[in-house]
Structure 1
Amino acid sequence: MTQVLRGVAVSAGRCAAPVARMAAAVAEPAPAPALDESKREAAAAAIVAASQQVQQDLLAAAASVSGTAAEILTVTSTMATDPALVSSATTKVTDDGESPERAVWLAADALAEQLAALGGNLAERATDVRDVRSRIVAHLTGVPGPGVPRRDEPFVLVAEDLAPADTATLDPASVLAIVTSGGGPTSHTSILARSLGIPCIVATIGADDLVDGQVIAVDGGSGEVHVEPDAELIERFSLEISLPEALTEPGRTKDGHAVALLANIGNPDGADAAAQAGAEGVGLFRTEFCFLGRETAPSVEEQVAQYGKVLEAFPGKKVVIRTLDAGADKPLPFVTADDEPNPALGVRGLRTSWDRPDVLEDQLQAIAQAAKAAEADVHVMAPMVATVAETETFVDACARHGIGQAGIMIEIPASALRARDLLKVASFASIGTNDLTQYAMASDRELASLASLSTPWQPAVLDLIAAACDGAARHGRPVGVCGEAAADPALAAVLVGLGVASLSMTPRSLPAVGAILATVELDECRALAEVARDASSADEARAAVRDRIPALEEWAL
């Protein structure tokens, strides 16, 4: 009888193929006798050179992709030359005589442990630190660096977890699916798998026992891995069920209720891909790409040029620009502190403008100038808003720059529960389900042991979304979702039933979400929302909803 492993489904799709496990990680360098003092300066310089080379390699990889993948690779590249890592490593060489590779290993271990202990979004950076550690050590020792295995035939990639730098450059023609024993539903692996259209299951119990060459059948929609399946199951999972490559009609339910299907983009390069995918606009334009890897904020002129590229791709269409979301896992030296004890609950998002209002003012000026030169319908929203006072301050700032459509992100329970007050002031809201789930469930989204908590299918999270929509409806304000929840076709129907007016996602998910919404009526969506909220667990909610949408099976979603 076929053994079935179960994990957390994060990217829909099916396949049957042999396993290819990630290659063994770079080994920890063994302790060695202390370096002669005459060699220490050169050894320290070698660390600096290797870290800079790794940064350049990651930036080159970022330049070869777009959207979320490019953003994550760019963020990871900054970790390679992070002063906390490089300075600590070089000190271990110059003061203690450690070999350069051993020094990097020890320094990275200490930094990764500090980040992991902080929890929240910052814990994700621990994975990045260990990844760049292996890459730097590989450069220093001349051994092959970490990477995805190469095979003559397509395969299912199996690993404990994947570094963002590896996931971002996967080839969907070779990697038919991803199965990991670690990670969570909103981890970087999950987000990138969805952006690439690769079926993916994370936090899979028993995945570590899978071996190279073993045939498995993966159902990224249900979260099931069938080990050594029979011929019938292999044939069923191998059937090519092709969704359209682009959204061909505006999003709507079967009975014609409009649901705007928008794209999330992380830099101007992602705008063309989103437009080609048929996106009705942009629901989340992340502006951090302008600010990352810099010691000072970009000028107004630089920002105008970058924002204009995106607006030009969507003439006459809605483009929602999020102001700088620094802090937590995206520290920036000119707006965030290095010594926050818990950055996930610290000065991040709009809060960075309390001490550096000039950065926000310059950004709003740049957005306003770019909007005047374009034909897009520009909306602007602030991240991490918690109170009415914050909302009023942001809306007033936008008004000073002639920006009429000023909104807020709902990412914490406080703003969801008091949306009726915040949306008196803001003209719209967008729910960031990744952070909302993390803060509501007090669960680190990178921990596999908490994966069952770290999902927007949690009834408590759905209750918060319902509260936000109900509060906004009192004032006739629209609420969208721009978190990863919007890319789940089954959950998309639930969100519409809760009152969500627009769904913004990775462009690859647009056709699937559009296809499923077109098979259910608005009243069915409302009934599905009630079924999900009445469930006693996330798994129960998900299973109950999926059982009531037959088209998911037809489309292998």
Structure 2
Amino acid sequence: MADPAPGTAAPGFTGLGVSPGRAAGPVMTMAGPPVLPEPRPVLDAEAETAVVGKALETVAADLRRRSATARKRTSGDGGAAEILDALAMMADDPMLREEAEQGVRDGLDAAHALDSAFTRHREALAALGGYLGERAADLDDLKHRAVAGALGVPMPGLPAPGHPYVLLAEDLSPADTAGLGADVLALVTERGGPTSHTAILARGRGLPAVVACAGITGLADGTYISVDGTSGEIGVDVTEEEAARIRERDREERARLAATSGPGRTADGYPVKLLLNIGSAADLRPGGEGVGLFRTEFLFLDRKQAPSFAEQVTAYAEVFGQAAHVVVRTLDAGTDKPLPFLGLAPEHNPALGIRGLRVDRVLPGVLDTQLDAIAEAARQTGAEAWVMAPMVTTPAEAAGFAERARARGVHRVGVMIEVPAAALQADRILEYVDFLSIGTNDLSQYTFAADRQHAALADLLDPAQPALLRLVGACAEAGRAAGKPVGVCGEAAGDPVLAPVLAGLGVTSLSMAPVCVPAVRDALSRHTLEECRERARAATA
């Protein structure tokens, strides 16, 4: 068999490429969940209840240990620590524990009581769809871990064959993805989408990854395959020698990209700022020109009470003191991203309910405190903070937010464009704010009426869809007319194939995971502005 050329693969499977790079090697398939035995009589309800509590506490403690390990890494982890903290909080949910304990009182042994409680919670979340639908999948992993603890068997974990391998799985939990070692060459899953935790964490680690690849777990362990994390192509029956050559070419390409430096520019010098997406100061890395998305909700995730004004000032000042340019997104939460301290009522369709800026309709004090803290942190550090609100839909909402922010001492105010209605009125919105930042993840979901976590709809969520790019282009055109910057901070911004297209549409900045910066910088440098515009015209045709 001839060695596949760079960027191609031997015939095999095709999925959705979500993290660029190429890799090849023998596959290992993730072990399945623990087998639940037949129910057994409960002879001591008190002892069985104690097993339930111990199992949940062990799961939460293990997740917090993994979170601490993720925070110590010297390379970006794609927000792994914050995600693991959120999962630990789910395992600690007193309502979940009470339901499992009630199962014991009803005559179930600990393992079956946990299985039943998790299953009911999962069904309730899955019915809500949107972000909570994704959390339902996370509950599956927590259930397997808790049931394993109750049964006294090892928790589900990653293969450890003693050699580098390509990991195959039906899906990967955030806990598994965050715990990947250096022996994992690439990830391929049957489920997942472009904004799933697997995709986001793989990009943060710089691991080639392909999701929504039907049938891939049918391969026998030890089969050699090649993985193209850009095209989504999986080559099968690759020889060991071919795999070694593919890995060597990928190492050479990564070394070449890592040697690049400087600001984002097209081949003829047109500037496109390359910014970073972060959750805290710990995520800051060299190579970017500042921060295009500071996700402040990670400060709130594991809290039963909102962080104080002083805590927020400290967290924001730590970032402002280390980056020349920072765009802060105010709290992006609500019933689709539940935070206990908000106390919001459940909704039938949370993705279309109280979330993002809409939380201010019922809890205005949360935004006021955050804006005051951002302004104070900027004052203490001498930084010029740019602040934007998520889930803005109308010009009136943009005007109201801008007025509130400026009254509290924030001078550069913008909004995120995540709703088609906002994209279609970008020119009106720019009458009130200083900049726009396009969140392509949610804009895709709402444009195509496709749950961003639904593997069967992954093609609709592809950021290269012409309808989505036309909305991006409309926002960029409004920015040009107003003389104001328009950036992209969704996952599309870190795609080196799409970067020239976005530049050609008129986007002035791209914000991404730190690991994506070298490839995007290189992609822009290979095309003139006119070539980027030609690519944009072709992509939207």
Query: What is the TM-score normalised by the length of structure 1?
Result: 0.91
Partners of 1:29 and 1:105 within 8 A in 2 = no
Shift of 1:29: 4.3
CA contact (8 A) 2:25 2:240 kept: no
2:32 aligns to what? 24
From 49, 61, 65, give the equivalent of 2:66.
61
Instruction: Report matched runs for 1:226-241 at 5 Å.
Output: 226-230=235-239, 233-234=242-243, 236-238=245-247, 239=249, 240-241=251-252
| CA apart distance, 1:69 | 1.2
Task: Give yes or no for the alignment of 1:249 onto 2:258.
Answer: no
- Give the letter aligned to residue 238 of structure 2: P
**Which secondary structure state, in structure 2, belongs to the residue aligned with residue 425 of structure 1?**
coil
Structure 1: 4+ residue segments shifted above 6 A? none
Equivalence for 2:297? 288
Please give the secondary structure, in 1, of the residue aligned with 2:431. Answer: helix
Amino acid at match of 2:96: L
| Counterpart in the other structure of 1:190 | 199
> What does 1:143-154 correspond to in 2, within 5 Å?
143-154=153-164
Q: What secondary structure does 1:429 align onto? A: strand
Change (3 A) 1:461 1:328: farther
Q: Does residue 141 of the first structure (1) align with residue 151 of the second (2)?
A: yes
Equivalent residues of 2:335, 2:344 under 8 A apart: no
State the distance in 2 between where 1:505 and 1:51 align: 35
Shift of 1:42: 3.6
CA contact (8 A) 2:336 2:355 kept: no
1:90 to 83, 101, 123: 101
Counterpart code for 1:373: Q
Amino acid at match of 1:78: M
Alignment counterpart, residue 8 of structure 1, candidates 6, 16, 24: 16
Provide the secondary structure at the position in 1 that maps to 2:104: helix
Shift of 1:378: 1.2
Structure 2 unpaired stretches of 5+: 2-9, 72-77
Matched, 1:103 2:113: yes
Q: Which residue of 1 aligns with 2:53?
A: 48
Is residue 2:270 matched to residue 1:263? no
The answer to which of 330-339 and 349-358 deviates more is 330-339
Q: Which amino acid aligns with 1:200?
A: A
Deviations 1:163-215 (A, max 9, x none): 011101212x3111111111111111011110000000111133121121010
CA distance in 2, matches of 1:144, 1:476: 59
* Cα shift readout 1:451-502 (whole Å, capped 9, x = no counterpart): 1112211111111111211222221121111111011101111111111110
CA distance in 1, matches of 2:463, 2:82: 23
Matched, 1:130 2:140: yes
Structure 1: distance between partners of 2:403 and 2:47: 55
Q: Which amino acid aligns with 2:303?
A: R
Contact 2:442 2:452 in 1 (8 A): no
> Which residue does the alignment assign to 1:382?
389
1:448-463 residue pairs with structure 2 within 5 A? 448-463=455-470
Q: Does 1:436 align with 2:460?
A: no
Partners of 2:335 and 2:346 within 8 A in 1: no
Partner of 2:353: 346
- Could you say what secondary structure the match of 2:386 adopts? strand
1:163 correspondence with 2:173: yes
- Measured at CA, do residues 376 and 64 of structure 1 come closer, stay the same or move farther in structure 2, by a change above 3 Å? farther
- Give the paired residue count: 523
Confirm or deny: 8 A CA contact 1:125 1:329 kept in the other structure.
Answer: no
User: Which residue is 1:496 aligned to?
Assistant: 503
Distance 1:200 1:328, change over 3 A: farther
- AA aligned to 1:391 is A
Q: Distance in 2 between matches of 1:344 and 1:257?
A: 38
Name the SS of the counterpart of 2:140 in structure 1: helix
State the identity %: 50
Q: Secondary structure at the match of 1:176?
A: strand
Alpha-carbon spacing, 1:497–1:232, altered in 2? closer, same or farther (3 Å): farther
Letter in 1 for 2:59: V
Cα distance, 1:508 vs structure 2: 0.5
Answer whether contact 1:384 1:411 (CA < 8 A) is retained. yes
- Please list the CA deviations of residues 282-305 of structure 1 after superposition, one character each: whole Å capped at 9, or x if unmatched: 000111122112221111001111
Residue from 315, 318, 323 that aligns with 2:325: 318
- The 1:389–1:30 alpha-carbon spacing in structure 2 relative to 1, beyond 3 Å, is farther
Which residue number corresponds to residue 335 of structure 1? Answer: 342
1:405 to 399, 402, 412: 412
Distance 2:424 2:241 in 1: 49
CA shift digits 1:389-414 (9 cap, x unpaired): 21111111111111011110111111
Q: Tell me: CA distance 1:130–1:29, structure 2 relative to 1, closer, same or farther (3 Å).
A: farther
